[in-house]
Structure 1
Amino acid sequence: MPAQNLENFKRECIIRGSSEIIITENGDAVLYKVSDNSKFMTSNIFAARIMEYAPQLYSYFVDIGDSRRALLNAPEGAYRIGDFCIVQIVTAARDQKGARVTAQIRLTGIFTVLLVSEKDGSIHISSKIKESDLRERLTMIGESLCPECALILRTQAASASPAEIAKDYANLDTIWRNILHRYEERVSASTPGVLFAGNPIVSELLKYPLQSYSEICADTPDMIDILRQTFPEARDRIRFLPKQIFAVKSVDRVKTSLLGKKIFLRSGANLVIEKTEALTVIDVNTSKSSLSYKEVNFEAAQEIMRQLRLRDIGGIVICDFIDMDEKHDREALVSYLRELAQVDPAKPEIPGITSLGLIEIVRKRS
C-alpha cells in the first residue's frame, strides 16, 4: 500500500441503513456516499432505444427510460434509429445532463469480472498480481470454467479457492443470462428500461479488495444479512453495531467537513478547494504552520489525494503548492502524489508540473 505503514494500516467500512456508507483508512475517511437507490446509477444495465445521432459528439442519444436521454459513444452507422441495444451506465446523470452509457458490458463479482461483450473466452489476470506462478495458476482456473465471454480474475482471486472463484463466475453467468431474458421481453414490448440494478452499497465496498478490510460494520439486521450472504469469506469481520454507529465512528463530523471549502491540516496549514464547471482548483497555504515549505507540501499532498476520493472529485484538478526552489524537491512531490494515487480506485493521472509551477491531476469520478 503506497505511502502507508502496512503493519499499522487499517481499513474499515461503516454502513448506516441501506444507503449510507463510509470507508476509512487509519481513521481518516476516504469515501463517503449516500445512495438515492435510483435505478439510474453507475454500472446498472438497461435496454436502450436508439433515438438520434449527434455527429458533433460522435455519439447516439438513447432512451433508457429516464426523462434525460443518455449518451452512447459510437460511430455513425453502428446502429439504426429505433433499434434496441444493451447498455451500462458509465457516468450517472447529473442535473440536466443525461447519463453516459457504454455497450461494453462488465459484470463485477468478488473474484471475477465478466466482459460479456468480448466473446473470445480469453482469461485476464489482474495486473496487481505479479507472481508468475500465481498468474499461471489463476489462468488455469479461469480456463477450467470455459467461459463464453472474456473473464478477468481480480486481485482478490489470489487468496480464493478454485471453488470460490467458480461460484463467483457462475453467479455472474446466471445474472447475464437473466439480463438477456429480460432484454428480450423489453424488446418484444418495445419498452426501454432497467435490466439489472446492483446493490450500491456492495458496489462501493468492492472498490477496494475485500481482504483489505479489518472490519465491516452495519446497523441493520437486513444489511448484515446481505453482507454475510454476499461475502461469506468475511463473516468474521462483519459486525452489527447499534443505531449510534455513525456517532461512535465520528462520521457526522466527516459529513460536516465535506460542506466546507477550507480544510485544516494538522500542522496548521490549510487547503482551499474551489470547484468550477471546468475544473477544480486546490490552493495550499502555510498559514500558521511552523513546518518547512517542503514538509507542508508533502502533508498537503496526502490530504489532497484523500479529499479527491472523499469528495469524489473528477475531471481536471489544478494544485497550487507552495513554491520550492530545488528541482529535486518538486520532482519528489510529484513522485509522492503518484505513489498516493495508486490506492485510489479511480486511478488518477498526474502528468507533472506545468510551466506555471502548478501540478495537474486528472481523475475520473468513481
Structure 2
Amino acid sequence: MRRRLLIDRRGPLQRCAMLSDGVLTDLAIDHDDRPVWQGAIVQGRVTRVMTGLDAAFVEFGDSVPGFLSASDVRPLRRDARIGQLLRTGQMVTAQVKADAHDGKGAVLTMDLSLPGRFLVHNPHGDGIHISKRLGKGPEVTALRQRLSSTLPNQGGWIVRAEALHADPALVLDEAEGLLADAHHARMAAGAPSPMTLLPPPDAVRRAFVELPRDGLAEIVVEGPDMLAAVKAAAMALAPDLLPLIAPHKGARPLFDQGDLDSAITALADRRVDLGQGGSLVIDRTEALTVIDVNGGERGNPLATNLDACLEIARQLRLRNVGGIVVVDFVNMARAGDREAVIQRLSSAVSDDPVATHVYGMSRLGLVEVTRARRGPPLADLLL
C-alpha cells in the first residue's frame, strides 16, 4: 500500500490528509476559532467539590469548568472520597482527557500521559508495558528486554506497536523528549491562577504520532510557512521522516488534486454510497450516532453488510465520531452470517488510533460500537 500525507492551511483550517492508494483514509484538522483542549496539561483551580458525584469541577481556562472524578485524582488513594482528596480553591495539575461537548465540560485526569510515535510516558506510572497490538512472541520479548535496560527509569512507559521495528536510537531520543515535556510541565506549575502548562498537540503533531506510516512514500506541504512548521515538527518528533517532506509545486492548490476538497466536504453529508444501490445513512444525535445500512438493489445481505463494515470504519475515523454508535445492518437469517459481520467490523476498526470497541449483534441486526472522543466531530470544524 502506498501512502501520501498532504498538509496545507486553508483559511482557519490546518489540514493533514492521509491517502492510501489514492483513497482518503485519515484526517487531522484544526480550526483556529474552535481550539481543541484534548491532550493539554493544565493547572486548574477546584471550584466545586461534589460529594454526590464523587467528583470536582475545575476551572482551567476553557469556558466551562472541567470534570475531575475521584478515580482520576493522583496520587490515588483507594476508596477515598472526593472530599478527602480535594478542597475548593486547591490548585491541581491535570490533563484534558476529552473536550467539552453538548454543554458538558471537559473530562480531566491527574494521571498524565504523554504520547509519542513509539512510546507513551506516564509520569505517575511505573514499569514497562507492551501494547496489546504487539501480541506475544520472541520479537516482543526481545524488545521488552532491550527497552528494560535502556529506557530511563522515570515513571512508566507504554511501548507502542511502531517501536517493534524502529531504530532503537529513535526510540530512546523520543523517550528523552517525552521526559523533557513532562519536566517542562512540572516546572511551569505553581502559578496562583489557572494556566496551560503544555499545549495540546496540533494537527501536524497528531498526524506524525497517530497516523499509519507503513508504506508512507511522501509528505507534501503547501506554503512556505506551513513547510517550515512541518519540518520543525518532524525534527522534534520524527527526524526519519524529514527526507519524505517536499513542497507542493503544482499550479492548482494541493487539496484540489484528486478532488480531495470535495471528498472532505462530502464527509458532512448524511448519505454515503456503497455502490450497487447500497448506502449508509449517518445521523448524529445528542446521545449517540446512528448508522443505517441500506442494501439497495443488491440481493445479498451478507455481501452488503461486509462491504459496509469497511466503509463504516473509514467514516468513523474521517468524521471523528465519538461516543456510542448504533449500526442497523441489513437483516440476515443465519447466525453464522451475523458473526461474520461482527468479525469483519472488529477487524476493520482494529487499527483505528482511537480506542474503538464492537459489541455483539442483536436479533434485529443492531450492533453497538463505542469510540473514544478525540476532539470535536469533523462536521463541527467544517461548519
Task: Tell me the TM-score normalised to structure 2 length.
Answer: 0.85
The answer on 1:321 being equivalent to 2:329 is yes
Give the CA deviation at 1:126.
2.4
Poorly superposed stretches of 4+, deviation over 4 Å: 37-40
Identity score, percent:
28
Partner of 2:216: 213
The correspondence of residues 1-366 of structure 1 with structure 2, limited to 5 A, is 9-17=1-9, 19-37=14-32, 40-74=36-70, 75-76=81-82, 77-94=84-101, 96-118=103-125, 120=126, 122-129=127-134, 130-184=136-190, 186=191, 190-201=192-203, 202-211=205-214, 213-220=216-223, 221-229=227-235, 230-242=237-249, 244-287=253-296, 289-290=297-298, 292-366=300-374
Give the CA deviation at 1:44.
0.8
CA distance in 2, matches of 1:65, 1:317: 30
Give the CA deviation at 1:43.
0.5
CA distance in 2, matches of 1:161, 1:345: 22
- Contact 2:99–2:106, Cα closer than 8 Å, also in 1: yes
Cα distance change, pair 241–115 in 1 and its aligned pair in 2 (3 A): same
Specify the code of the residue in structure 1 equivalent to 2:196.
Answer: V
CA distance in 2, matches of 1:30, 1:164: 27
CA distance in 2, matches of 1:40, 1:64: 13
Give the match's secondary structure for 1:147: coil
Specify the code of the residue in structure 2 equivalent to 1:263.
Answer: V
Specify the code of the residue in structure 2 equivalent to 1:293.
Answer: P
Residues 320-360 of structure 1 deviation map (CA, whole Å, 9 limit, x = unaligned) = 11111222111111111111121112232111112433111
CA distance in 2, matches of 1:204, 1:78: 37
CA distance in 2, matches of 1:205, 1:116: 22
Give the match's secondary structure for 1:151: strand
Structure 1 alignment gaps of length 5 or more? 1-8
CA distance in 1, matches of 2:154, 2:64: 34
Give the match's secondary structure for 1:356: coil
Residues 182-201 of structure 1 deviation map (CA, whole Å, 9 limit, x = unaligned) = 103x1xxx111100014412
Residues 16-40 of structure 1 deviation map (CA, whole Å, 9 limit, x = unaligned) = 1272122233333233343135665
Residues 181-231 of structure 1 deviation map (CA, whole Å, 9 limit, x = unaligned) = 1103x1xxx111100014412124322344453332221322342244132
Paired residues in the alignment total 351
Specify the code of the residue in structure 1 equivalent to 2:208.
Answer: L
Task: Tell me the TM-score normalised to structure 1 length.
Answer: 0.89
- Contact 1:46–1:88, Cα closer than 8 Å, also in 2: yes
- Contact 1:267–1:296, Cα closer than 8 Å, also in 2: no
- Contact 1:281–1:319, Cα closer than 8 Å, also in 2: yes
- Contact 1:31–1:311, Cα closer than 8 Å, also in 2: no
CA distance in 1, matches of 2:258, 2:54: 47
CA distance in 1, matches of 2:216, 2:64: 38
- Contact 2:28–2:206, Cα closer than 8 Å, also in 1: no
Specify the code of the residue in structure 2 equivalent to 1:73.
Answer: S
Cα distance change, pair 326–95 in 1 and its aligned pair in 2 (3 A): closer
